[in-house]
Amino acid sequence: MKNPLLEYPPLPAFTRIKPEHVEAAVDQVLTQNREAIATLLQQDEHSWESLIQPLEQIQDRLHKTWSPVSHLNSVMNNEALRDAHNACLPKLSQYATELGQNTALFQAYQRLHDSDTFSQLSQAQQKVINDALRDFRLSGVDLPETEKNRFKEIQQQLSTLKSQFSDNVLDATQAWSFHTEQESDLAGLPPSAIDMAAQTAQSRNQRGWVFNLEFPSYFAIMTYADRRELRQQIYKAYVTRASDQGPNAGQFDNSRIMQQILELRTQKAHLLGYANYAELSLATKMAPDTQSVLDFLSDLAKRSRPIAEQDLHQLQDFATQEMQLSSLEPWDIMYLSEKLRQKRYNVSQEDLKPYFPEPQVVQGMFAVVHKLYGLSIEERHDVDTWHEQVRFFDVKDPIGQLRGRFYMDLYARANKRGGAWMDECASRFKTKDGIQTPVAFITCNFTPPSGGKPALLTHSELTTLFHEFGHGLHHMLTQIDCMDASGINGVPWDAVELPSQFMENWCWEKESLNLIARHYESGEPLPDSLFDKLLQAKNFQSAMQMVRQLEFALFDFRLHLEFDPQQPDQIQNLLNQVRREVAVIRHSDYNRFQHGFSHIFAGGYAAGYYSYKWAEVLSADAFSKFEEDGIFNRDTGQAFLHSILEQGGSAEPMELFKQFRGREPSVDALLRHSGITA
């Protein structure tokens, strides 16, 4: 039997891939790749064609073997596949570490960089080489031997501590629950939340209802439960998880782990020649320096805070005047906000859904990109996929040239990972046989059609689809021929959400909704009255949400910038200080939000949480050009296509942005879109 993962067809043979193919294929490719790299490094002189191009083919071979496996593991999971998938993970990470620390490979890049031919390379090629050299240095490749060993030690300790941090949060989340058999405790909760609590009780062989600290349960209580003591109780348990406070104080305490993580990160930054971890984080990002990030966040905070205070005052007035509460406590905020939102904007997702049947929405989205970029999107029925719900499309430009292809898998089903994402199936680059066409996976988890009706999307699902398609266009429309700079490759973390958030804007304009929204029975467009309510509700409490995000971002960034192991209680003190400067909501003294802040302690957002807002500024400002010129202005569409989408990671994002906008980004559009300024 031939192994379909080793045949490298233009599109994966999904129906023929079986779990037993996985490990054998990965083993074989890794062996071949190691041998091929060793052979490449025996050359005395290196050129783009003799070094980088073959390396791209080597990487592409591994990607073609692994990408369908990792995709199937996400969307068609089963035990055998998961075992095969997981068995390969350590092998792949070992291979990646080896490459990053391969001194001979690093020196080959360096020689190419220093050679006469370097200046003759394209801007994209030069950037690929410069980025690679930077990444080699960031993985410690050119450190003296003793420091190299210390670096490896730090990396290992950090990875252990990060997983201990996550384990503590998980254990603390699972350790607390609230069991009740009193129906009065359920007052205010929607039926779906009550069902969920009954199921949780059943699964534990208990009568009545069980609430816990998993987000859907916590969220339902905080937003809807009329019983104030119940909200207070779950609030306290939630905000003290994995800390020295609350019902399980000290049991899963992350305090020491957080301190150790920060110490090790600081040591790592020093080894690599940076003054602190924030500087190290920025080495791979768009933001030029730490002061720019601080100024950026402080400026947004200064402008948003007065409006956030107004939001809070309105909530306080509502609490005293209409809800007869003498004080507004932290466990009242979500609950009262929901009541106020319902009172002001009586619009529910249920009212909107009939206007967003999936077939119309997808056609409408294609019509939007046809108007903007002249793209034609054609469905293909002759492509092998992993499920009957999956559709496949070719994207062609105005002269009929195939630019990209994508799989679209929109519906939730058993054994499919939750959430929505875009992933690369194949990247554009120049092979020895010509240009490889980029292929994308667009994955969502919408409610499937039932009862003879088409699937009806909520407005937020519509926005999600546009968001992921925006990432997809960035991946597919690139004209860059080097793999590490084509599409989303080589785009810094704080700029990569530009094309995706940018696309969301077409979900909020009447002119584009006329293409997207049609009542699934009557065929009517979205009525003006519903559209107006949708717009009004969009910015409810957006300034309060803005300062909350800024509080997280400033805390994360300053912590990694100012960390000093000698200072006692620095983490808590810094958080208190940031809150005094930025926050409008008062927190309880026992609040230990930071002990569960997995994004920065266990995930990849350390000194990078600001990226969310940074990219939002770029996308809002880019869209404001369309507000000025017309949201379907073809010239502006072409300019965005040529300056941003086609360029991928081939140049600094600031350069590309300026090319499109004619100036540096400004926060004005984001503040206006969020209703913070007029």
Nearest residue to 406 via CA among 468, 363, 461: 468
463 lines the binding site for Zn ion (CB under 5 A): no
Tell me the window of 454-462, 498-506, 594-602, 618-626 that interacts with Zn ion (CB under 5 A): 498-506
Name the residues annotated as catalytic: 468
Query: What's the half-sphere exposure (Cβ side, CA atoms, 13 Å) at 634?
Result: 5
The residue from 212, 290, 478, 500 that contacts Zn ion (CB under 5 A) is 500
Give the nearest distance from C-beta 670 to Zn ion in angstroms: 16
Distance of alpha carbon 69 from alpha carbon 65, whole angstroms: 7
Q: Which is nearer to Zn ion, 552 or 563 (CB)?
A: 552
644: DSSP letter: I
Residue identified by tokens 């920065």 is 600
49: DSSP letter: I
Binding positions for Zn ion, 518-537, rule CB under 5 A: none
Q: Which is nearer to Zn ion, 500 or 674 (CB)?
A: 500
- Sign of the dihedral through C-alpha 139, 142, 144, 145: positive
How many residues belong to the site for Zn ion (CB under 5 A)? 1
Binding positions for Zn ion, 261-300, rule CB under 5 A: none
Between vectors from CA 16 to CA 13 and to CA 20, what angle results, nearest 5°?
Answer: 120
Q: Which is nearer to Zn ion, 498 or 559 (CB)?
A: 498
- Do residues 372 and 634 touch, judged by C-beta distance below 8 A? yes
Q: Which is nearer to Zn ion, 132 or 442 (CB)?
A: 442
Give the nearest distance from C-beta 433 to Zn ion in angstroms: 32
Q: What SS3 class is residue 29?
A: helix
Give the nearest distance from C-beta 576 to Zn ion in angstroms: 32
Tell me the window of 63-71, 295-303, 500-508, 659-667 that interacts with Zn ion (CB under 5 A): 500-508
Give the nearest distance from C-beta 385 to Zn ion in angstroms: 23
Tell me the window of 285-293, 495-503, 526-534, 663-671 that interacts with Zn ion (CB under 5 A): 495-503
Q: 502 Cβ partners below 8 Å, 6+ apart?
A: 470, 619, 622, 623, 640
User: Where does residue 220 rank: exposed (0-12), middle (13-18), buried (19+ CB within 10 A)?
Assistant: buried
Tell me the window of 343-351, 435-443, 497-505, 668-676 that interacts with Zn ion (CB under 5 A): 497-505
Binding positions for Zn ion, 138-197, rule CB under 5 A: none
Give the nearest distance from C-beta 50 to Zn ion in angstroms: 37
The beta strands (E) that lie in 274-426 are given as: 376-380, 391-396, 402-411, 421-426
Q: Which is nearer to Zn ion, 220 or 495 (CB)?
A: 495
Give the nearest distance from C-beta 501 to Zn ion in angstroms: 7
Q: Which is nearer to Zn ion, 65 or 500 (CB)?
A: 500
Q: What SS3 class is residue 287?
A: coil
- 27-66 footprint of Zn ion as x/- string (CB under 5 A): ----------------------------------------
Give the nearest distance from C-beta 476 to Zn ion in angstroms: 15
Residue number with the smallest Cβ distance to Zn ion: 500
Distance of alpha carbon 620 from alpha carbon 472, whole angstroms: 19
Q: Which is nearer to Zn ion, 304 or 500 (CB)?
A: 500
Q: 495 Cβ partners below 8 Å, 6+ apart?
A: 285, 286, 614, 615, 618, 653
Footprint of Zn ion on this chain (CB under 5 A)? 500
